Amino acid sequence: MHLRDSDSDADFRSEVREWLRSAVASMPTPPSPDDWPGRRSYDAQWQRMLFDAGYAGINWPAEHGGRGATPTEHLIFLEESAAAKAPDVGVGFVGQMHAGPTIIAEGTNAQKAHHLRGILTGDHVWCQGFSEPGSGSDLASLRTRAFRDGDDYVVSGQKIWTSHAVAADYCEMLVRTDPNEPKHKGISWLIMPMNLPCIDVRPLVTVHGSTEFAELFLDEVRVPVANLVGAENDGWRVANVTLSFERGTGFVGELLDTTNVFQELIEMAKSTIRTGRAIWADDSIRREVGIIGADLDALWAFTKRNVSQGARGGLAMGSGSGFKVAFATTQHRLGDLALRVLDRASLSMDDLGGQPTGVLVHSKLHAFAISLGGGTTQIQQNIIAERVLGLPRER
Amino acid sequence: MDLQPTDDQAALVEMITTFAADRFPIETVRSFGNSDGFARTLWGELAALGTFGISVSEDLGGVGLNFIDAVLVHEALGAALCPGPIVAATLAAGLVNGVIDGSVVPCIIDLGSDGPLAVENFRSSDVLLVVDDAGVGIIESDNVSGTDVVHPTDPTTPITILASLPKTKSIGDAELAKRWRQRGSLLASAQLSGNSSGSTSLAVEYAKEREQFGRPIGSFQGLKHLLADSWIRTEVARSSVWAAGVTIDEPEVGSIDRAVAGSRLTAARAATENAKTCVQVHGGMGFTWEVDAHLFLKRAWVLETQFGSIDDAAEVVAHLYADR
């Protein structure tokens, strides 16, 4: 086992570091979080720079326009990007992390030709239409219907938690094409252009005020049959193929953000005086910092274990679920500590007194995104209990 | 970077695990706790596997592997609740004659810890090693007086309270003391990590067999979530323990103190919480002496005090983050 970079990884790291230094300096000031046209064009500008430099689709296979980097190189790229304060993937998230890899694995040649390059250059933005108001943890119970009518599917239903829908050109969507089959067997995976008529996008504001999500209301939207990815009624499997692409880097960006917030919290605890002494002088605060710090270091090591497994072909069962639950627990614990340190400075969602107080409040609320999004903590616990520990299913 | 065991390391862990299951089944572990239960033959077999000299160079009679390999071995031994002064022997191997081959059994006391002068496995030892800030000393156990604890909290770890601090012969300076504290702490944490996995396996097995309300209790989400959390705590602990082991071998990748202290926090939590879960999953039977669940918990309590407390470890991590 090693933690040091191999010679080639060290070369890659210094090459990336050098490129990032000038590239990041050339970027304009980021737009405000709710300025979606501004965010889209900012993210596209950065993505284009990555594309021109050969870093777009870093973990995508080279034959599909990616860099074909190893999982370790991917991790290095993310670490260096964070250190350089480079923009994150932004509105490119669904396209680069999910829709693109799905099309690579299951799409037709025409679909690949039409979609992959746009995702890599940043010209095409994707959103995800999987969850429904009645289908959260039990996603396979989804009811958005698609009837075949000539060369089109006629799609009606409602989707929720559609990230970046306001800015998106395409939606990767799961629809029910056969209601008579068992729930996992009647689902299909469709590419839905967002400029089609009869799509109503309504923003869904989160507890921390983010406008990144929306609900989609679909009323007989005509999606060409040519936009079916994989076979009809095979969409559940298609939606899960990206799991096999996961190489342990999925949460690196979030973990880097959390580590930065943690450092800011420590600085605040050291510089804030309460009842005559620095908050940092309080043993219980400091020891809680120590425990959270140990957990963050452990989560980094956990990430490196997963990336190392990924480099050998794929994650072990439960590794992704286990990481996510542990990360969510730490994120909540950090948020709880932040509220203790902030005390009444937590009453504003915006920063107060030149301190990152608002950032810390946001971080606490964002912890729910980790413990709920992409399969709740309880669903992950079920997965581990049944598929790793081999405990019997409930029914 | 590669934080997964190599094929050789996986084979090493497999060998130790098989050996422990064969030669240190739980009945043997229990008997090691009796004053006359420590078996020199078994200790010699453990030594013959290269357990103690694993990271000692070959010219000093060791196996010549890295410290991470010692960490992996202690993780496997911890899962089996392997008894005896295995941390002391691993630290002393190569420095104290006879330790590598098992003919000399050491025990150890770290004066950095407060409280009584309690020594684990003193009565079966040949030499006592004394660690303080200034260095490491040694004395023959026969020349040290102490009183055996009648009811050691962990029945598989005999405890002796020394009457007074003996005068020792120095075998190393402050640098060696620091090195032993780091390595001793990490080896104990590796055992804690293994312990957490051992108690989880015991609990999972029981949850699959035990039926109530007409079905295995492991089918209830209330238990599933407890056991999934146990598994996760082990994976978190194992991650920090492995990273710390590699950091000792490759000091340029990070702070050894921070990695070691962090490992103590995650591994002690995993072991104590998972053992508690193991008792709880066993229901009323978990509250009995006969079921092994309490042995994991009590061993965890012993290990988590070795070479510094949990609070000490939290302070170390906090300060190393803050003084970055």
Q: What is the rounded CA–CA span in Å between residue B245 and residue B163?
A: 35
Contacts of A258 in chain B (CB under 8 A): none
A201 and A192 Cβ atoms separated by less than 8 Å: no
Contacts of A263 in chain B (CB under 8 A): 321, 324
pLDDT of residue A248: 82
Contacts of A1 in chain B (CB under 8 A): 2-6, 9, 68, 242, 245-246
Compute the nearest-CA separation of A308 from chain B (Å): 5
Between strands A170-176 and A126-129, the pairing is parallel
Closest CA to A96 of A73, A65, A75: A65
pLDDT in tens, A5-60: 999 999 999 999 999 999 999 999 999 988 999 999 999 999 999 999 999 999 99
Mean pLDDT, rounded, for A373-381: 94
Query: Closest residue of B to A260, CA-based?
Result: B321
SS3 B187: helix
Compute the nearest-CA separation of A331 from chain B (Å): 14
Q: What is the rounded CA–CA span in Å between residue A188 and residue A167?
A: 24
The CATH superfamily assigned to B176-322 is: Butyryl-CoA Dehydrogenase, subunit A, domain 3 (1.20.140.10)
Contacts of B236 in chain A (CB under 8 A): 295, 298-299, 302, 322, 326
Q: Please state the φ and ψ torsions of residue A188, each to the nearest 5 degrees.
A: -130, 155
pLDDT in tens, A254-289: 999 999 999 999 999 999 999 999 999 999 999 999
Confidence class for position A250, pLDDT limits 50, 70, 90: confident
Q: Say which DSSP state B137 is in.
A: E
pLDDT of residue A395: 66
Nearest by CB: A295 against B242, B266, B315 = B266
Write out the two tokens for B145: 């007086």
Biggest CA pair distance of chain A? 76
3-state SS, chain A, equals CECCCCHHHHHHHHHHHHHHHHHHHCCCCCCCCCCHHHHHHHHHHHHHHHHHHCCCCCCCCHHHCCCCCCHHHHHHHHHHHHHCCCCCCHHHHHHHHHHHHHHHHHCCHHHHHHHHHHHHHCCCCEEEECCECCECCCHHHCCCEEEEECCEEEEEEEEEEEECHHHCCEEEEEEECCCCCCHHHCEEEEEEECCCCCEEEEEECCCCCCCCEEEEEEEEEEEEHHHEECCCCEHHHHHHHHHHHCCCCCCHHHHHHHHHHHHHHHHHHHHCEECCEEHHHCHHHHHHHHHHHHHHHHHHHHHHHHHHHHHCCCCCCCHHHHHHHHHHHHHHHHHHHHHHHHHHHHHCCCCECCECHHHHHHHHHHHHHHHHCCCCHHHHHHHHHHHHCCCCCCC
The single residue listed with the structure tokens 């590794």 is: A319
pLDDT in tens, A180-234: 999 999 999 999 999 999 999 999 999 999 999 999 999 999 999 999 999 999 9
Q: What is the rounded CA–CA span in Å between residue A18 and residue A24?
A: 10
C-alpha gyration radius of chain A: 22
Write out the two tokens for A178: 């056969």
pLDDT in tens, B75-88: 999 999 999 999 99
Query: Closest residue of B to A301, CA-based?
Result: B239
Q: What is the rounded CA–CA span in Å between residue B33 and residue B13?
A: 25
Q: What is the rounded CA–CA span in Å between residue B111 and residue B164?
A: 12
Asked whether the beta carbons of residue A270 and residue B322 sit closer than 8 angstroms, the reply is yes
Task: Residue window 258-317, chain B: list those with CB within 8 Å of chain A.
Answer: 258-259, 261-263, 265-266, 311, 313-317
- Rounded to the nearest 5 degrees, what angle is found at the Cα of B259, between the Cα atoms of B256 and B263? 135
Contacts of A386 in chain B (CB under 8 A): 224
Write out the two tokens for A277: 């002494």
Q: From its phi and psi, is residue A233 left (phi > 0), alpha (psi between -120 and 50) or beta? A: left
pLDDT of residue A247: 77
> What is the ipTM score, two decimals?
0.97
- Going from N- to C-terminal start, the domains of chain B cover 176-322
pLDDT in tens, B239-256: 999 999 999 999 999 999
Nearest by CB: A308 against B2, B265, B318 = B2
pLDDT in tens, B142-157: 999 999 999 999 999 9
pLDDT of residue A394: 81
Q: What's the predicted TM-score (pTM) here?
A: 0.96
Q: What is the rounded CA–CA span in Å between residue B259 and residue A362?
A: 29
Mean pLDDT, rounded, for B268-289: 98
Q: What is the rounded CA–CA span in Å between residue B63 and residue A353?
A: 59
Q: What is the rounded CA–CA span in Å between residue B235 and residue A324?
A: 12
Q: What is the rounded CA–CA span in Å between residue B141 and residue B143?
A: 5
Among A241-255, B42-56, B147-161, the range scoring the smallest mean pLDDT is: A241-255
Asked whether the beta carbons of residue B3 and residue A308 sit closer than 8 angstroms, the reply is yes
What number of other Cβ atoms are within 10 A of residue A58's Cβ? 21
Q: What is the rounded CA–CA span in Å between residue B127 and residue B140?
A: 4
pLDDT in tens, B196-248: 999 999 999 999 999 999 999 999 999 999 999 999 999 999 999 999 999 99
Please write down the long-range contacts of A24-29, taking CB distance under 8 Å and 24 or more positions apart.
A24/A84, A24/A85, A24/A86, A24/A87, A27/A87
